[in-house]
Amino acid sequence: MGSRAASPGRGKTESTLRRAKMSSQKNMITPIFFLQLILVVVPQPTQTPRPPSPEAAIVQYLRANVRPGAPVEVSRLFNEVFTGEPERRALNRLFNTFFKIPLFVVQTQKSRGLPPSLREISEQFAFTEPGTADIILRIMEMDPRVPRFLERDPKTGEILRVDAEKITAHPRFGKILERTVTGWEGNAAPAFSVKGFEGSDLNLGALAGKPFLLYFWFSNCPPCVTTTPLLVELHKTYAAQGFTIVGLNADRLLDLDYTDQDRADYAKKLGIPFFLGHATAEVQDAYGGVSVFPTLFFVDRTGTVVKHLVNGQDKAVLDAAVKIALLK
């Protein structure tokens, strides 16, 4: 059979379909191209970098300007370099830790036989900027008022060895260490008067005849964060036997930027049932110039300190201390 002749309308139909397909493809490409054009033409927003925190600015300056053998003049930093109020507050807080760090290092060495790490020093003194602990130790090592009692790794800056006797025998640090390490147990708890978070007053007289714990802490102190829930558990166990816990927060003493709402939220989150108040300079001094957190004084019914603990402790140690306070 011969081939069949094409229908006159068939060619026109195929041509029309091809044009429709090309038009459809064109219409599909155009929006994509237009979107790409917009992305190219429209400028993308830029983020302005945040200025460094006051502590970061101070650490950056010290890192760049501290030289071996050249003591840092704090008065010059206050008067010439950091003249804004936030920077001066941060500078004051950093250098308030200057004579507390040797005590913490020696206390840690004596309690566990090992020196603290740079991270632990940062946690203990609420340093927020990486490198702060290292730079403060560098300045300390050049200060003639502090004996050379540390050996540090030249690469990492970590403390390798501690000569505790140099600090213990030093007139500036020795008496403080004697009180904070060995001088409390068996002595009467000093009088104190503090104000609670909600405004109520509490003093030593109100606790007469009661065994109690005086617990010094500050917000977001890592050892305190692990200790406080343990104290909540101990309160539930021993409150019926008359044991009382008094938590004294040192945020204001340490010039930390936590608000009353921050502290209230923390207490609510942990379900803290015991008294929470603000530590004052007077009560801090009365209890040996507490500079390591947490610090815990367990007092029996006669008002005598029967156990004094420094830094984080496990539940078994805390439980044993409560039982000692309950004996009399």
Q: What angle do CA 248, 289, 166 make, to 5 degrees?
A: 140
The verdict on 161 and 214 lying in the same domain is no
Alpha-carbon distance values, 236 to 6, 20, 306 (Å): 98, 81, 21
**Residue at 105 is within a domain:** yes
The verdict on 133 and 191 lying in the same domain is no
> pLDDT higher for 148 or 47?
148
Tell me the whole-structure pTM to 2 decimals: 0.69
Of 20-34, 95-109, 194-208, least confident by mean pLDDT is 20-34
**CATH code, domain with 311:** 3.40.30.10
Whether 54 shows a pLDDT value over 80: the answer reads yes
Confidence at 4, pLDDT banded by 50, 70, 90: very low
Whether 52 shows a pLDDT value over 50: the answer reads yes
pLDDT digits (tens, 9 = 90+) for 104-140: 898 888 878 999 999 999 999 989 899 999 999 998 8
**Residue at 23 is within a domain:** no
pLDDT digits (tens, 9 = 90+) for 168-178: 888 777 666 65
**Residue at 2 is within a domain:** no
Q: How many domains does the chain have?
A: 2
Confidence at 290, pLDDT banded by 50, 70, 90: confident
Domain boundary among 177, 207, 234: 177
**Residue at 26 is within a domain:** no
Distance (Å, whole) CA 132 – CA 124? 12
pLDDT value for 18: 57
Whether 2 shows a pLDDT value over 90: the answer reads no
**Residue at 27 is within a domain:** no
pLDDT value for 48: 63
Q: Helix (H) and strand (E) counts for the chain? A: 13, 9
SS3 annotation, 159-200 = EEEECHHHHHCCCCCHHHHHHHHHCCCCCECCCCEEEECCCC
The verdict on 281 and 150 lying in the same domain is no
The verdict on 167 and 210 lying in the same domain is no
pLDDT value for 303: 96
Q: Give the phi and the psi of residue 156 in degrees, each rounded to 5.
A: -95, -20
**198, 283 in Cβ contact below 8 A?**
no
Q: Which domain covers residue 308, as residue numbers?
A: 183-326
Distance (Å, whole) CA 1 – CA 23? 39
SS3 125: coil
Counting residues of the chain whose pLDDT is more than 90, the rounded percentage is 50
pLDDT value for 175: 65
pLDDT value for 79: 84
**129, 56 in Cβ contact below 8 A?**
yes
Domain boundary among 156, 177, 198: 177
**Residue at 145 is within a domain:** yes
pLDDT value for 271: 93
pLDDT value for 70: 76
The verdict on 207 and 135 lying in the same domain is no
158-167: average pLDDT: 93
The verdict on 263 and 169 lying in the same domain is no
Whether 29 shows a pLDDT value over 50: the answer reads no
Alpha-carbon distance values, 296 to 75, 216, 291, 302, 312 (Å): 35, 6, 12, 17, 10
The verdict on 163 and 215 lying in the same domain is no
Alpha-carbon distance values, 62 to 144, 153, 163, 200 (Å): 18, 20, 26, 43
**Residue at 35 is within a domain:** no
Distance (Å, whole) CA 176 – CA 294? 17
The 10 Å Cβ neighbour count of residue 299 is 24
First to last CA, the chain: 124
The verdict on 208 and 125 lying in the same domain is no
**Residue at 137 is within a domain:** yes
**290, 261 in Cβ contact below 8 A?**
no
pLDDT value for 180: 57
pLDDT digits (tens, 9 = 90+) for 265-285: 999 999 999 999 999 999 998
Whether 36 shows a pLDDT value over 70: the answer reads no
**Average pLDDT of the residues of the chain:** 84
**323, 202 in Cβ contact below 8 A?**
no
The verdict on 165 and 193 lying in the same domain is no
The verdict on 173 and 191 lying in the same domain is no
The verdict on 155 and 223 lying in the same domain is no
Greatest mean pLDDT among 11-15, 60-64, 90-94, 245-249 lies in 245-249
Whether 181 shows a pLDDT value over 50: the answer reads yes
The verdict on 157 and 213 lying in the same domain is no
Among all chains, which residue has been given the structure tokens 């101070």? 58
